[in-house]
Every structure is written in C-alpha cells, then in structure tokens.
C-alpha cells in the first residue's frame, strides 16, 4: 500500500509523458520504447504549453493586471476563490486548499521528465553519435530553465544569506516515477540549476537557430544563465551572459510599423524569440485586463496604444469586460507575448539592469533607449536625461522599471522582478491596487502571497513538499 501511495504521489508530481508521434510509451520505472537518436530528439520538438491559461495569477499578484477575462464585481462576490484572494490580497485565504491541481506545475514537471528520459537514454541510443552531445546540452538547458521557473513561482526570492535555510523545490534529475522526489533547499535548488546551465553545457549548443523557436540554441543558453544569475542578484556575473545572448540574437520587434498598418501582429515565430513558451493556446487573443496603475504607465507616444485600430490597449474593453473604468485591455487575435519564454527585447532589459547595478548607468540606459525607440514615437532619450542630470542608480532604475513594466506585460517578468526588488531595501515597495468603487488593497514586500502554493495533489503524497510561505 505504501508503495502504491508513493507511486501515486510521484505521478502527481510528474505527469506520465503522453505519446510523441506514437513513439513515447512509458513503462515501469521510466523506461521507454525510444531507442535511437532520431526518436529521442522528438522529446525536444515540443510546442511548449505550460498551462491552459496565461500568466494571469502572477500578473494579478504584482498588480500588473486584473486577470484574463475576469469580471471584477463577479470575482469579488465569490470570497472562497484564488482570484478573490489575489485581487484583494487576502493573506488569510487557504490557498493550498484552493489549489487541488495546478496545470502549470504539472506541465513543467512533465517537460522536465521528457528531458530526463532523453538524458538517460541518449548515451546508449543508436544513430548519429555527433548529435548526442548537442541534444543532451539542450535537455540540460531546458531542465535548468523549467526548474528556474518553478522555484521563482513556488518558493521565496533567493538571498545568499538565507537560501540554505529556505525551502526550494524538488529538483528532478531522473525519469523514475516510482522514486519519491525530495524538496531541496533554495540554495541547493539554485546550485542544481547552475550546474545544468554551465558554460560547458552552453558551448555545446548550436549557434543561433532562426528556424525553430521551440528549440534551445546558444542565445537561449546564455539568456538562461543570465536570468538565473540576475535573480540571484549576482549582477556582475549575469551581465556577460546577457551580452553574449544579444550577440547571438538582438533582433528587436519594431512597433513603429503599427503607425502605417494600424494593426499589431506578434506571431510565435517572431525573429527575436529565443525560445517560445506559451501559457495558453497560441490562437487565443491576449485579452488581459491591465490594472488601473499599469494603465497609467504607458508613455504618450506608445505605438500600440495610439495606432492599433484593431483594438490596442483600450479603456473601452477594460470597462466592458472587467467592469471597471480607467483600466486597459488588449483585444487582438494575432499577438503573443511569449509568456514563459525569453526574447531579445526583454534580454536588452536584463543587460541594462545589470549595467546600471554595476555602475555603468549610461550603458544601461542606452540599451533601454534602443528598445523604447521601437515602442514610443518621439521618445525622450533616457541617455540624454542622464547626460544632463547625472542620474543616480536609483533614479536610473526608476526609469528602467517603468519602461520594462509595459514591455513585459503578460509574461512572468514583472512578477519575478517584483520579488527580487522587494528583497532589496532600496527598491522594496508596498504595491497598492485600486478597484474603483470596490475598494483599495495593498500587498507588502514580504507578503506570503508572493509564493504560490504547491498543489494538493502533489503535497498529499509527498511529505517533503511543505509550503514555502
């Protein structure tokens, strides 16, 4: 009976892999029928879909948005829901009890299991020997990235002084579903991530791969390591990797074309995408309602806001669907924010912040301006402002934070950034949300709401998965 319960718990943690062109068949203890290099490579040919919904919960918590197609009056009338807890910043809500399942958590561990199957079987697989090393490097990079997403959603922010005592996640490095996975400390989790995205691993990846935005190349590898190190607040170490990623791919989306076309199309295969990972069906519209506070951050010359005749960021749609005035909503069918992936546009901001944090403020603001030049008509140069006023780090960061917030709408970035900034005295802040006639709510930098709960179908059978808040 004990064995059965363990197996059930592991299955909850790691969904059994589904068939991959009828070739991926799981048999006991993670064994598969995949025996050659070509078949195993199918595990990397995924259109990564991490959930049945976008990043709404993360956006609500950091007050970027009010969720995907949520009627605020309706949500506030239902007190015993996660949406209500996050919209009102209710720290007393039993979020673990309200989270029996979590499609994102399960999907990420499913993909991790794909990577582990490949890593276990590829050394002995038949076929092209020269393909083994780069394929294994891809699997290691993806494994690192997926765990990094998990640890920043389901654990506290990394701090070197306390990481050894704080809880992390289960770092899964083998496909044996009968083996119960133990939650590591935050420090142990990050060390495992760093091992999986080491220099040696990155160098085995292919050069820029413009033909397949679902596969990992050097640009993605460097970007992953840059993201990991920046989240650890090791800004001087993160910077070279961010710059190397941009050397591989620095293609910026040019939104100035909206002025002529009166429409905004951002397909999944946009050249600046390093790896594309969606949070919802690719064909679905954005339709994320921005908070009142986020809606006020658009610069005056924003191309999408001003010229997209098909919808744009519209107050009308926010009123229509959310039931609140003064909050914007985008209504478009051909856009995708690459919710859980990485692109060059946002890597510019990674490099920019690292420059600013290491004292090279001019260089940092220069990179921010390069993105804003493609976003804002007649934008006011931050570099020129710096040259005139000799801005401090804090002043330069304030400019970056405002611009990056709009750039990263409908992705995980703003949520992760808030957690990191909240761990630093000079950047932590209380976030206050106005819901108009329905009240005003605030979340403190140290609120437990910044950590999402492990789902009950995982914790029920795994005693090591204690909540991290």
Average pLDDT, whole number, for the chain?
Answer: 90
In a domain, 445, yes or no: yes
Tokens coding 467: 């909540």
| 170 & 153 share domain | yes
Cα 332 to chain centroid distance, Å, stands at 21
| 123 & 61 share domain | no
Cβ atoms of 411 and 346 closer than 8 Å: yes
Cβ atoms of 302 and 375 closer than 8 Å: yes
pLDDT of 14 higher than 50: no
- Residue 264's domain comprises 56-95+252-347+406-450
| 294 & 317 share domain | yes
Q: Which of 79, 113, 100 is nearest to 11 (CA)?
A: 113
| 77 & 128 share domain | no
| 198 & 111 share domain | yes
In a domain, 396, yes or no: no
**pLDDT per residue over 91-127, tens digit each?**
999 999 999 999 999 999 999 999 999 999 999 999 9
Helix (H, G, I), strand (E, B) or coil at 443: strand
Q: Tell me, what DSSP letter sits at residue 290? A: E
User: CATH number for the domain including 222?
Assistant: 1.25.40.390
**pLDDT per residue over 270-321, tens digit each?**
999 999 998 865 544 567 899 999 999 999 999 999 998 777 888 888 898 8
**pLDDT per residue over 345-372, tens digit each?**
999 999 999 999 999 999 999 999 999 9
Tokens coding 239: 């910077």
**pLDDT per residue over 372-412, tens digit each?**
999 999 999 999 999 999 999 999 999 999 999 999 998 99
In angstroms, the CA 346 to CA 358 distance is: 19
In a domain, 175, yes or no: yes
pLDDT at 309 (0 to 100): 78
Q: What are residue 452's phi and psi, to 5 degrees? A: -80, 150
Instruction: Tell me the sheet residues that pair with 443.
Output: 431
Counting every residue written for the chain, the total comes to 469
């Amino acid at each position: 009976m004990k064995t059965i319960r363990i197996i059930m718990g592991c299955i909850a943690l790691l969904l059994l892999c589904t068939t991959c062109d009828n070739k991926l068949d799981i048999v006991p203890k993670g064994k598969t029928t995949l025996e050659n290099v070509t078949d195993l490579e199918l595990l990397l040919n995924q259109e990564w879909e991490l959930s049945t919904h976008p990043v709404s919960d993360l956006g609500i918590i950091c007050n970027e948005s009010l969720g995907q197609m949520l009627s605020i009056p309706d949500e506030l009338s239902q007190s015993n829901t996660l949406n209500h807890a996050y919209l009102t910043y209710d720290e007393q809500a039993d979020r673990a009890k309200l989270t029996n399942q979590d499609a994102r958590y399960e999907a990420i561990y499913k993909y991790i299991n794909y990577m582990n199957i490949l890593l276990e079987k590829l050394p002995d697989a038949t076929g092209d020997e020269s393909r083994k090393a780069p394929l294994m490097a891809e699997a290691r990079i993806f494994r690192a990235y997926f765990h990094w997403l998990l640890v920043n959603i389901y654990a506290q922010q990394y701090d070197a002084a306390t990481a050894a005592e704080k809880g992390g996640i289960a770092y899964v490095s083998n496909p044996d579903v009968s083996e119960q996975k133990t939650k590591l400390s935050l420090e142990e989790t990050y060390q495992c991530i760093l091992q999986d995205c080491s220099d040696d691993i990155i160098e085995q990846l292919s050069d820029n791969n413009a033909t397949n935005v679902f596969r990992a190349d050097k640009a993605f590898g460097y970007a992953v390591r840059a993201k990991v190190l920046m989240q650890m607040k090791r800004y001087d170490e993160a910077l070279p990797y961010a710059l190397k990623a941009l050397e591989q791919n620095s293609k910026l989306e040019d939104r100035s074309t909206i002025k002529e076309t009166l429409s905004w199309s951002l397909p999944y295969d946009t050249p600046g995408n390093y790896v594309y990972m969606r949070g919802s069906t690719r064909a679905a519209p954005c339709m994320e309602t921005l908070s009142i506070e986020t809606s006020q951050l658009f610069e005056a010359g924003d191309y999408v806001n001003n010229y997209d005749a098909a919808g744009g960021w519209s107050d009308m749609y926010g009123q229509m669907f959310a039931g609140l005035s003064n909050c914007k909503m985008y209504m478009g069918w051909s856009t995708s924010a690459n919710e859980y992936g990485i692109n060059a546009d946002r890597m510019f901001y990674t490099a920019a912040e690292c420059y600013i944090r290491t004292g090279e403020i001019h260089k940092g603001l220069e990179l921010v301006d390069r993105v804003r030049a493609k976003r804002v008509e007649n934008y006011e140069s931050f570099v020129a402002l710096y040259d005139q006023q000799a801005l401090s780090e804090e002043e330069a960061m304030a400019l970056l934070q405002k611009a990056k917030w709009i750039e990263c709408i409908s992705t995980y970035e703003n949520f992760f950034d808030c957690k990191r900034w909240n761990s630093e005295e000079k950047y932590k802040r209380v976030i206050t949300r106005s819901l108009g006639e329905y009240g005003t709510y605030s979340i403190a930098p140290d609120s437990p709401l910044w950590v999402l709960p492990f789902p009950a179908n995982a914790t029920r059978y795994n005693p090591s998965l204690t909540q991290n808040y």
